[in-house]
Amino acid sequence: MLWLRNHASFFRGLATSIGAVLTLGVLSVSSARSQQTESSPAPVQRGQKLFGQACAFCHGADATGARGPDLVRSPLVAHDLKGELIGEVIRNGRPDKGMPAMPTTDDQVSDIAAYLHARAKEALESSGVPNTYPVEKLLTGSAEKGKAFFEGAGGCKNCHSPTGDLAGVSRKYPPIELQAHMLYPDSQPVMATVSLPSGEQIKGVVSHFDDFVVSIRISDKTGWYRSFLRKDVKLELKDPLAEHRELLHKLTSADMHNLFAYINSLK
Amino acid sequence: MNSPFARLEKFCLALFIVAAGLCASHASAQGLDPAALLKPATDTWPTYNGDYSGRRFSTLDQINAGNVSLLSLAWVFRTPTHTLKSTPLEVNGILYFSSPDNVWAVDARYGHQIWHYHRASEGDHIGNRGLAMYEDSLFFTTPDAHLICLNAKDGTMRWDVALADDKLGYFATMAPLVVKDHVIAGVSGDVTDIPGFLVSIDPKTGAVQWRWYTQPKPGEPGSETWPKDTDAILHGGGMTWMTGTYDPELNLLYWGTGNPNPVLAGEGRPGDNLYTCTIVALNPDTGKLVWYFQPSPHDVHDWDAVQTPVLFGAEFKGKPRKLLGQASRNGFYFLLDRTNGEHLVTAAFIDQTWSSGIDAKGRPIAKPEATPSPDGALVEPGSDGSTNWMAPSFDPQTNLFYVNARRLFSIYYNTVETKAEGWGGRDRNLWANSTVRALDYRTGKVIWNHELGDGESIAGILTTAGHLLFTADNSGNLLALDPATGNTLWHLNIGARLVASPMTYQLDGRQYLLMPVQDTLYAFALPEKAASSAKNPH
């Protein structure tokens, strides 16, 4: 569908009728931006209750549709600001589609609109996994098998200890973060040994590294910065995360979830 | 008969013809004849990819492997605070490039601004890839999913049409493509469950010529790849994020389509979900589908197939073929016969953990355990993909296909508890590094590999007849590599990462290399003395 800019209001009129929108070949879709600014919880809760009583039978308890259309994806909801479009439909019904008119107060319309906008916002925010993600969902593996992997095939115990660096690790991060850190921890200093043509060796922590230049913080009392042309020196790097990268390739789904169950048990 | 009105009519008609004639001659002097797009001259870069093939190979060789070490700065143009993801057009000595809401016209020889157009808009400002040109009109898309036509001479607006309703989650980032008397435009979307489409617009009036949706209508061929009796097919995504390619001999338009929606939660849309994550061939005059090939059936990882479908003519199994190659976001290289879509090759171009093999149609088979799950699925690549929108290149001198690729691990979560809407989950990146790879176009086999460092590169690639490949690493270095070996021939620490694709043109006997780096456009050239005596050593 294409319309000239000054026809936008014309479209808005059309959008009040889903039927009209469909004749234009546009499919019903959800709200790009919640038209409401932050909905306070009270109207949303009241709206949810009202929706459950009056609308859920046809539109589904969560407004994703049943006999009637999905309202989370509704263009009309996307264009509605504060219930002015939603209210019109509720009060007039859609007799052609079997939706009865329902007498409602302004406050009730406003609450139902708040609920529908909150539902659309949830869909918009579905591309995030919150830090409050429940640990129960992640705990599908066996801690016992995870422990065996940690001590055996995984090779984890070569660098880590449940009573040493990992003591109480599950209390340090929310579960979803713990899972990510278990697989790949935050970056660690990479150690470099730079051998000069003279034979002199300089050790330090890498601060820059590319094909052409390596720069380090020298591991001595001074801690001064030095940079070298890669072509002039020999370079040896020790990256403590190299084993983690190798493990990413080897881990099966079962290994990963067993290991998480074990790491999560290290309270 | 010869009434005053009739005479007036004739006079007006004559005036109109004179005016039209003036317009036409003016357009050819300063603008771009669409016929010139068929074989662009080396003093122009008239489309997003430089030509219809999407090869991003320039026949210019003044800057070459023998003198690239002398490359120096010709000029710099700054657009403070605007990240440039666009590839500039260059027509008759003028560069045209964009960022979301902005277009600049800049002197291609000296780097001075000619005009700047700004139009504030709502919508997603993730990036703008550039413009298209028809005679003396420029076209670009906006964050609120409009297509704007500007007068190339002064940047004034001629018309502004909405391609889609931004309130529903549509936006636009792509550089349109002019094919004959069509401006082909696509749309973007991300989190909302809306259908993608391509639209053809009349360059003169802004009127719609045709519209092709990336999902068939219920009942049409392809609709059997969606569940019946649900609204899934009406909300299936498939955005047309990037600029396609075109074969004038076959009169076929090639386009890659985006991932299906809901993005990571596929349980409500069982089936292949055509024509999402698909390479399609359309008739540019009618918008009718001619053939298709689907790199990622039933995608649940956000691996769109919008990467440039690169066109080249080359030998395959002893016969010259019209080929189409794509290094796709799912980590696989696909080679097709572009006359009919016949599948020829599927090969992974980088490590991946999600596929267990190739099916009879040449499509990778997904492992069940790679599906996003409530407890997390560890998968390579992550949703950002083994490659992404940055330009690949095909060099007819080396017969190699170049792609900027990534190793990228991610945990994918499906967080849906009721009906999936939007993304329905997310993946969490763990680690990434990047590499430029040269592939044998016949097999997809990696011929050479040049590491770019940790992180996800989004630097595009340009190859030239000067036996050079231009790109950038993840440490702020611009690079010129030997396209035959991947060895570095030139580098410069420019201090920021290239998030666009290089381009080149020659004016007054001097070849310019343009690198848009963040908010700054850098023009490189040989010192004038070196330029005049430049010889390609090969």
φ/ψ bin of A159: left (φ > 0), alpha (ψ from -120 to 50), beta (otherwise): alpha
Cα four-point dihedral sign A41, A44, A45, A46: positive
**pLDDT for res B509:** 95
Confidence of residue B528 (pLDDT cuts 50, 70, 90): confident
**pLDDT for res B7:** 52
Copy the structure tokens of residue B93. 């000595």
What is the chain B residue with the closest CA to A22? B234
Whole-Å CA distances, B31 to B20, B92, B411, B509, B533: 15, 7, 50, 21, 31
pLDDT of residue A30 exceeding 50, the answer is no
Per-residue pLDDT tens for A227-241? 999 999 999 999 999
**Per-residue b or e along A14-32, where b marks 16 or more CB atoms closer than 10 Å to that residue's CB:** bbbebeebeeeebbbbbbb
DSSP string, B367-379: PGGGS-BTT-EEE
**Residue B382 has what DSSP assignment?**
-
Residue from B142, B184, B190, B378 to probe the interface with A (highest A Cβ count within 10 Å): B378
**pLDDT for res B22:** 41
For the whole model, what pTM was predicted?
0.90
Return the half-sphere exposure (C-beta side, CA atoms, 13 A cut-off) of residue B492.
16
SS (H, E, C) A106-166: HHHHHHHHHHHHHHHHHHHHHHCCCCCCCHHHHCCCCHHHHHHHHHCCCCHHHCCCCCCCC
CA A95 to chain centre: 41
Residue A106 backbone phi and psi in degrees, to 5: -60, -40
Calculate mean pLDDT across residues A164-175. Answer: 96
Query: Please, which residues 130-189 of chain A have a Cβ atom closer than 8 Å to chain B?
Result: 133, 137-141, 176, 179-180, 183-184
Beta bridge mates, B434: B406, B453
Whole-Å CA distances, A227 to A198, B129, B327: 16, 37, 37
**ipTM of predicted complex:** 0.88
Highest mean pLDDT among A18-32, A49-63, B26-40, B148-162: B148-162
**pLDDT for res A3:** 33
CB–CB of A184 and B430 under 8 A? Answer: yes
Whole-Å CA distances, B375 to A138, A232, B89, B225, B416: 4, 49, 47, 28, 12
Confidence of residue A59 (pLDDT cuts 50, 70, 90): very high
pLDDT of residue B294 exceeding 90, the answer is yes
Confidence of residue A123 (pLDDT cuts 50, 70, 90): confident
pLDDT of residue B195 exceeding 50, the answer is yes
**Residue B403 has what DSSP assignment?**
E
pLDDT of residue A10 exceeding 50, the answer is no
Q: Provide the H-helix boundaries in B304-438.
A: none
> Which of A46-50, A185-189, B51-55 is predicted with the least confidence, judged by mean pLDDT?
A185-189
Please name the residue that has the structure tokens 């290094």: B327
CB B10 within 8 Å of CB B16: no
CB B128 within 8 Å of CB B22: no
Per-residue pLDDT tens for B230-275? 999 999 999 999 999 999 999 999 999 999 999 999 999 999 999 9
Q: Reduce the DSSP state of residue B333 to 3 states and report it.
A: strand
Q: How far apart (Å, rounded) are the C-alpha atoms in residues B143 and B171?
A: 5
Residue type, position B283, single letter: N
Q: How far apart (Å, rounded) are the C-alpha atoms in residues B266 and A66?
A: 19
β pairing state of A3-4 and B157-162: antiparallel
A217 CA to chain B: closest CA distance, Å?
Answer: 18
Confidence of residue A32 (pLDDT cuts 50, 70, 90): very low
**pLDDT for res A14:** 34
Among B254, B252, B234, which Cα is nearest to B244's? B254
Chain B CB within 8 Å of residue A67 CB: no
Q: Reduce the DSSP state of residue A63 to 3 states and report it.
A: coil
**pLDDT for res B29:** 57
Catalytic one of B101, B136, B144, B302: B302
Q: How far apart (Å, rounded) are the C-alpha atoms in residues A260 and B353?
A: 20
Copy the structure tokens of residue B150. 């500007």
pLDDT of residue B11 exceeding 80, the answer is no
B230 CA to chain A: closest CA distance, Å?
Answer: 10
CB–CB of B413 and A129 under 8 A? Answer: yes
CB A116 within 8 Å of CB A47: yes
**pLDDT for res B42:** 87
The chain-wide mean pLDDT, for chain A, equals 86
pLDDT of residue B25 exceeding 90, the answer is no
**pLDDT for res B537:** 61
pLDDT of residue B228 exceeding 90, the answer is yes
SS (H, E, C) B234-255: HHCECCCCCCCEEECCCCEEEE
Among B530, B405, B520, B404, which Cα is nearest to B466's? B530
**pLDDT for res A40:** 67
For residue A27, the chain B residues in CB contact (below 8 A) are: 194-195, 234-235
A196 CA to chain B: closest CA distance, Å?
Answer: 23
Q: Compare CB distances from A140 to B375, B413, B418 and report the shortest one's residue.
A: B375
**pLDDT for res A13:** 34
Q: Compare CB distances from A78 to B159, B168, B488 and report the shortest one's residue.
A: B168
Per-residue pLDDT tens for B408-442? 999 999 999 989 999 999 999 999 999 999 999 99
CB B503 within 8 Å of CB B512: no
The answer to whether the peptide bond before residue A134 is cis (omega within 30 degrees of 0) is no
Percent of chain B's residues with pLDDT above 90: 88
**pLDDT for res B436:** 98
DSSP string, B7-32: HHHHHHHHHHHHHHHHHHHHHHHHSB
Q: Compare CB distances from B423 to A5, A62, A126 and report the shortest one's residue.
A: A126
CB–CB of A126 and B161 under 8 A? Answer: no
Per-residue pLDDT tens for B450-465? 999 999 999 999 999 9
pLDDT of residue B1 exceeding 50, the answer is no
**Residue B260 has what DSSP assignment?**
B
Please name the residue that has the structure tokens 């092709």: B212
The chain-wide mean pLDDT, for chain B, equals 93
Confidence of residue B481 (pLDDT cuts 50, 70, 90): very high
The answer to whether the peptide bond before residue B516 is cis (omega within 30 degrees of 0) is no
- Active-site residue, B384 included: no
Calculate mean pLDDT across residues B476-491. Answer: 98
pLDDT of residue A111 exceeding 70, the answer is yes
Confidence of residue B41 (pLDDT cuts 50, 70, 90): confident
Please name the residue that has the structure tokens 């001619």: B290
CB B264 within 8 Å of CB B414: yes
Q: Compare CB distances from A73 to B193, B375, B488 and report the shortest one's residue.
A: B193
Among B4, B24, B281, B3, which Cα is nearest to B136's? B24
pLDDT of residue B367 exceeding 70, the answer is yes
Q: How far apart (Å, rounded) are the C-alpha atoms in residues B365 and B354?
A: 8
Residue type, position A2, single letter: L
pLDDT of residue A21 exceeding 50, the answer is no
CB–CB of B211 and A79 under 8 A? Answer: no
Beta bridge mates, A195: A201, A234
